[in-house]
Structure 1
Amino acid sequence: MTKLRCDSAKGRTLAPQRPNAGVEAAYRKALTDLVEEMAASVDYWVKANYRKIEPQVAQDASPASVLQGIMNKLTARWRTRFNEVADELARRFVRQAQGHADRQLSLDLQRNGFAIKFKPTQAMKQTAALSAAENVTLIKSIPEQYLSQIEGAVMRSALAGGDLGTLTADLKQRYGITHRRAAFIARDQNRKVGEAMTRTRQMGLGITEAIWQHSHGGKHPRESHVKAGRDKLRYRLDKGAYIDGQWIFPGSEPNCRCVSKPIIPGFDD
């Protein structure tokens, strides 16, 4: 791969690379559709069986064993469903994120006078594989957390002699939490994967440093990130910026919208 050098002694900065809203939207829809499908199934079977045994709930604990059996079946079913789709869903998302990152970087390089045709590299393959593996784990964690919470709610209600109305409200709340978590995974991973792909490409081009740029977005910005942007903090792409006692990259922290401005080395570098 060509190693970039610009005709300036001090080098030149490229524009920040930003995540693609369309890639995030597609991933979010895929995840939330699965969550909605799972929640509808759980809601139907839990309520149908709870309704049958509700008169007994306040009298003895035997209905709890029936509900436990239902939850065991639902957990097995939806764990299998998510496991079946996790790998392909994660790989498709990573391919889309990589495609956007490559196109955005290529266009910016063209605007700066560099015509680069990207090719598959071992470093990019490794970044893609690691990104996909992380997303497979996150996808599989969705039913694990949700169904564990649902099982706890159902069993507590049965043992306490709770009514179906109260349990229904609890089921709705748990669904909302899981739906928001799926959306967060899509948003958070879209930033992280895009940043990792772009950074890998940049290092392959001989770019070693970047400048931290704060997004100026969000209701509660991290002061340390604001300061890094104000100071135009320069950091190494292979190491990250040392902020709040750890080495991080823009967008790597939850809800961080910061970006980087990569520096093409000059002839003095």
Structure 2
Amino acid sequence: MAKTVPQTRYPHAAEAAYFRDIQRLVTELGKVTLQVFDEQIKPQIKLYGQDSHGYIMDGPLDVIQRAIEIIKGLSLGIFVSTEILNICTRFLNAVNAQSKANIQQQARIIGIDPTQSEPWLDEFMRSSINENVSYISTIRDEFFPKIEAIIYQGVKNGQSIKAIRDQLVERIGMTQNRAKFIAVDQTGSIFGQMTAKRHQEMGVEKFKWSTSHDDRVRQAHRVLDGRVFAYSDPPAEGLPGTPFRCRCVAIPVFDD
């Protein structure tokens, strides 16, 4: 007979804080981009449009390139490696704290605390932190080729300044969406891996799939809600939390 155990609580606070931290970096990057565009690039676009030869080799295009390099330089003061590391470390610590609290409550049923000795945890934390540092750094690395293409293609195709600026604003918004994706995806994935590892470390062989029970749950996961699976034979979707942007959790099943 399966015993009733406390729910596995998803780390919503950790996810929200992580998104705020990444969003702050992206917002600052966006502000710098638009400020340099308005102050330095916009006047050069006007000059470019006034010249019949287009200044292909020098003139306004060279100034525009230097302005883009200024944005890149300023971004280094935003995406500081130590700050990114601190953001990721805080995030992993918060997810780990929620996971440990869940496991400690659930393990009381069998009278143990499996979190007292976890030799696997240090390496898991280090690798997860490094992975997330890479994700955040990639946001900046992928941003500049996009805005360079928007500006140069817009100038050479004769687009209006407003049209070019609007595309930059749209790109900044897409980068914000990327930040949200990272926060949600990594929270679910890391939390799901921690939960599965800790359940199995304390001898749990089965889990019950539980969704977040809101309108954002994908249909493929709705049909899994409440079903019991063996950790050795999970459903095709994988373990709860590990699919992209999954907020589902695993509840341990203790069999007498």
Q: Which range, TM-score by smaller chain?
A: 0.7 to 0.9
CA distance in 2, matches of 1:240, 1:93: 30
Question: RMSD in angstroms over aligned alpha carbons?
Answer: 2.4
2:38 counterpart of 1:47: yes
Structure 1 ranges of 4+ moved more than 4 A: none
Picking from 154, 157, 166, the partner of 1:160 is 157
CA distance in 1, matches of 2:219, 2:7: 19
- Corresponding residue number in structure 2 for 1:97: 95
- Corresponding residue number in structure 2 for 1:7: none
2:176 counterpart of 1:186: no
Residues 210-249 of structure 1 mapped to structure 2, 5 A cutoff? 210-219=207-216, 221-223=218-220, 225-229=221-225, 232-236=227-231, 241-243=234-236, 248-249=238-239
TM-score by length of 1: 0.82
CA distance in 2, matches of 1:115, 1:133: 31
Gap runs ≥5 in structure 1: 1-9
* Structure 1 range deviating more: 36-45 or 211-220: 211-220
8 Å Cα contact 1:207-1:263 kept in structure 2: yes
Picking from 87, 103, 106, the partner of 2:104 is 106
Gap runs ≥5 in structure 2: none
2:134 counterpart of 1:137: yes
CA distance in 1, matches of 2:119, 2:22: 29
Shift in Å, 1:151: 1.4
Q: Between the two structures, name the one with larger relative contact order (CA 8 Å, sep ≥ 6).
A: 1
- What SS is found at the alignment partner of 2:113? coil
CA distance in 1, matches of 2:255, 2:77: 50
2:174 counterpart of 1:149: no
CA distance in 2, matches of 1:145, 1:12: 49
1:42-96 alpha-carbon deviations (Å, 9 max, x no partner): 1111221122213222231342232222223423442564251222211121011
Shift in Å, 1:16: 4.0
1:154-200 alpha-carbon deviations (Å, 9 max, x no partner): 11112123232112211211111111221221122122222222222
8 Å Cα contact 1:17-1:104 kept in structure 2: yes
CA distance in 2, matches of 1:22, 1:44: 33
Tell me: CA distance 1:240–1:30, structure 2 relative to 1, closer, same or farther (3 Å).
farther
Shift in Å, 1:11: 5.1
Matched letter for residue 24 of structure 1: E
- Corresponding residue number in structure 2 for 1:57: 48
Picking from 46, 60, 69, the partner of 2:66 is 69
CA distance in 2, matches of 1:140, 1:240: 36
Matched letter for residue 223 of structure 2: K
How many equivalent residue pairs? 249
